[in-house]
Structure 1
Amino acid sequence: MRVVVLGAGYAGLTLAHRLESRLPDAADIVVVDESDTHLVQHELHRVVRRPAVADAITVPLDDALDRATVRTTRVEGIDRDARRVRLADGVLDYDYAAVCLGAETAFYDLPGVADHGLPLKRLDHAREIREDALDTCERDGRIVVGGAGLSGVQVAGELAALADERDADVDVTLLERQDSVAPAFPEAFQTAVRDALVAAGVDVRTDARVTGATGEAVELDDSGVPYDTFVWTGGIRGSDALGGDRPVVRGDLRLDDRTFAVGDAARVVDADGDAVPASAAAAIREAGTVATNLGRLVRHALEADDETDGFAPRLDPFRFDAPGWIVSVGDDAVATVGPKVFTGAPARAMKATVGAGHLSSVGEITRVVELAREEL
């Protein structure tokens, strides 16, 4: 019996870590990822201003996992009918699989945006943004961030703080095509985030639809915004292994009877019919549900004389109920817990506990201390 976890982001690592204790010894667990480390993605923007954070937010997979076999290679495609994964260095058959490949930056075929816009998905991206922004600070230039989801909000705040630390006269502009920042989140959160951005010195422009980019300016419907540094966080698409698609999965989180999709790799509609936002909080919670259900399915398959014998085990439905939301804006943060909105020191402390909680859940106590020190 082989259970394959494709991807080692929030969903993949959380799932694999839990499967190690929930699956019987007769089940082999294989984790496949392009990298041999796990990245605490929601802290990636910190590397733009604090390069040393990189050590605290990267976890070697061999340290985080005990029983699972880790294969460091690229997933090229998935044949669900044959239950086979095509890898850059071969093939891998499975009995059950979880697709946790995350998402890539979407450029929407906007002319010039992919050529000139710097994405923020990996450590190398953060380092490139930092170097570009430092050059812009040297000449008191302009920085434009396209897309005001959580990633865009955080990197815009970090860039404004970097310019302040360098005593540079830099204009930081955040563009969002919808009528509010953090458009997928509650209104009170949106308002507090916008206020924090403005207080940080970020020029926030909503209802600003990007139509393209040149080497000098980001183009809007009726104008252009000049830049020296251009960062693009305007959306996400599925992994190349899924043809760029993010398939819809519902409360059972299954693509078919043997294959689950977890985290940003899919568009999740939970058991109550609610669309689940792409976020670390959602991915971790989805992984918990899938770990429970895979445990039941694997035990049933191993214990049955014939896999068709008896009734299939009942699976837990996934329901997403986030206690709140949190985002950093430079040296400030905004958090919601229920209807209450927090900023300042309480929100910063909550932000520090989020990453620390995730790291501690996969046994990385040393990095918990490092990350908390960097955050606070």
Structure 2
Amino acid sequence: MHVVVLGAGYAGLGLTKRLESSLPSDVDLTLVDESPDHLVQHELHRVIRRPGVANEIRLSLPGALERATARVARVEAIDRDERVVSLSDGRLEYDIAAICLGARTAYYGLEGVPEHGIPLKRLSHARQIRKRAREALRADDGGRIVVGGAGLSGVQVAGELAALAREEYGSASIALLEQRARVAPEFPENFGRAVERALEDDGIEIRTGATVTGADADGVRLESGERLPFDLLVWTGGIRGADALEGERPTVEADLRLDDRTFALGDAARVVDAAGEAVPASAQAAVREARTAAENVERLVDARRNGGEAVDPDLEAFRFESPGWVVSVGDEAVATVGSRVLTGRPARALKASVGLGYLSSVGDPGSVAGFAAREFLSERFRRDR
């Protein structure tokens, strides 16, 4: 029997590591990703200001795995009827598969935005943003930077750019655009208000209710008719499904099952949990979904081995219960624990602890030590605002 996990992000790597210890030894397990490394995406924005962070948040897949086979290839198509995956280097047959391909940046057909806006999904994107930002900030007028999309990724990018400007150039004009009525619109309102205050404290202009209609080489157009000039446009305005899924993010119910042999989880899918609630696309949700998916894959493997095709086991239902949320804003952080909002040193400590905890679960000792030293021994952690 062959179990295949497609994608090595939070959901895919977490699922694979759990299956390594829970599946029978005679079940083959393969993890497929187009990169040989796992990227700790929620720390990617740090590379904009601290390029050396890349060494701590990029983990070798072969080094992270124990018995699973890591196959470096791009997933091009999935034939669920035939249970065959078309890869950039050939084909891969499976008995049970989990689609964890993550999400791509969505541009919604906005003219000029894909050509002139830089997303933040890869290390190369972070490095490109850093290069372009430093060029812009050296300009006589101090540079004009626009970040499109005020979800957690956009918030962290804007905060990091403001901190970079403050450290190296004194100041910059940074505008954060959001189509909806508030910052972090997918998250609790009290959290969003605290994030907005932290952004404003960093001198970032927040423009809510701002619908982008297009862009050219040096300006973004809004539905209101206004034009915002920029030297750098960063686009974090939404997500779509992987190309292998034709850009779609299929909806799955609480058992995370797409069909009788295929699961979908993480940002690759729109997950509806056991309470009937839509689960936000986030690292936190992906890690938790991987636990449920691992249990269900194990049950399905056991049923197929012992009862054949006729046996359809009871599967565990995923229920998303978030302990809270945390986001960095430059050197600061905002967090929620239950209904309580944290800022200052407690929020910074929580943000650092979340990153360290995740790296400890999947990373090598060198990455963990480097991350811990940077977070807990840094001046920003010791001080209070």
Q: Shorter-chain-normalised TM-score: which range?
A: over 0.9
Aligned partner (choices 207, 210, 217) of residue 209 of structure 2 = 207
- Report the CA distance between 1:262 and its aligned residue: 0.9
Which runs of structure 2 are paired with 1:73-152 in the superposition (5 Å)? 73-139=73-139, 140-152=142-154
Return the TM-score normalized by structure 1. Answer: 0.98
- Report the CA distance between 1:312 and its aligned residue: 2.8
- Report the CA distance between 1:247 and its aligned residue: 0.5
Aligned to 1:227: 230
Aligned partner of 2:174: which letter?
A: V
Checking the alignment, whether the CA contact within 8 Å between 1:178 and 1:208 is kept in structure 2 is yes
- Report the CA distance between 1:360 and its aligned residue: 1.3
Aligned partner of 1:328: which letter?
A: S
Identity %: 61
In the aligned structure 2, how far is the partner of 1:68 from the partner of 1:288?
A: 17
Aligned to 1:160: 162
String of CA shifts for 1:247-276, please: whole Å, max 9, x gaps.
Answer: 101111111010000100001111110000
Aligned partner of 1:282: which letter?
A: A
In the aligned structure 2, how far is the partner of 1:113 from the partner of 1:168?
A: 29
In the aligned structure 2, how far is the partner of 1:371 from the partner of 1:302?
A: 43
In the aligned structure 1, how far is the partner of 2:74 from the partner of 2:330?
A: 34
Checking the alignment, whether the CA contact within 8 Å between 2:255 and 2:317 is kept in structure 1 is yes
In the aligned structure 1, how far is the partner of 2:146 from the partner of 2:363?
A: 38
In the aligned structure 1, how far is the partner of 2:121 from the partner of 2:219?
A: 23
In the aligned structure 2, how far is the partner of 1:176 from the partner of 1:104?
A: 19
Q: Please report the RMSD computed on the Cα atoms of aligned residues, expressed in angstroms.
A: 0.9
SS of 2:15's partner is helix
String of CA shifts for 1:6-55, please: whole Å, max 9, x gaps.
Answer: 00000000000000000001110000000000000000000000000000
In the aligned structure 2, how far is the partner of 1:182 from the partner of 1:373?
A: 29
SS of 1:179's partner is coil
Which is further off, 241-250 or 166-175?
A: 166-175
Which runs of structure 2 are paired with 1:304-315 in the superposition (5 Å)? 304=307, 306-308=308-310, 311-315=311-315
Aligned to 1:252: 255
In the aligned structure 1, how far is the partner of 2:184 from the partner of 2:9?
A: 22
Which is further off, 347-356 or 359-368?
A: 359-368
Checking the alignment, whether the CA contact within 8 Å between 1:23 and 1:295 is kept in structure 2 is yes
Checking the alignment, whether the CA contact within 8 Å between 2:7 and 2:99 is kept in structure 1 is yes
SS of 1:52's partner is helix
In the aligned structure 2, how far is the partner of 1:225 from the partner of 1:168?
A: 22
Aligned partner of 2:276: which letter?
A: G
Aligned partner of 1:149: which letter?
A: G
Return the TM-score normalized by structure 2. Answer: 0.95
In the aligned structure 2, how far is the partner of 1:363 from the partner of 1:302?
A: 33
Aligned partner of 1:122: which letter?
A: R
SS of 2:51's partner is coil
SS of 2:107's partner is coil
- Report the CA distance between 1:363 and its aligned residue: 4.8
Aligned partner of 1:292: which letter?
A: E
Judged with a 3 Å threshold, the aligned counterparts in structure 2 of structure 1 residues 375 and 219 are, in CA distance, closer, same or farther, namely farther
Checking the alignment, whether the CA contact within 8 Å between 1:12 and 1:100 is kept in structure 2 is yes
In the aligned structure 1, how far is the partner of 2:109 from the partner of 2:374?
A: 37
In the aligned structure 1, how far is the partner of 2:251 from the partner of 2:74?
A: 23
String of CA shifts for 1:238-297, please: whole Å, max 9, x gaps.
Answer: 000000000101111111010000100001111110000000000000000000111111
Checking the alignment, whether the CA contact within 8 Å between 1:136 and 1:170 is kept in structure 2 is no
Which runs of structure 2 are paired with 1:1-376 in the superposition (5 Å)? 1-139=1-139, 140-221=142-223, 222-304=225-307, 306-308=308-310, 311-376=311-376
In the aligned structure 2, how far is the partner of 1:320 from the partner of 1:328?
A: 23
In the aligned structure 1, how far is the partner of 2:272 from the partner of 2:340?
A: 26
In the aligned structure 1, how far is the partner of 2:167 from the partner of 2:210?
A: 29
In the aligned structure 1, how far is the partner of 2:227 from the partner of 2:26?
A: 61
Checking the alignment, whether the CA contact within 8 Å between 2:59 and 2:363 is kept in structure 1 is no
Aligned partner of 2:27: which letter?
A: A
Unaligned runs of 5+ in 1: none
Matched positions, count = 373
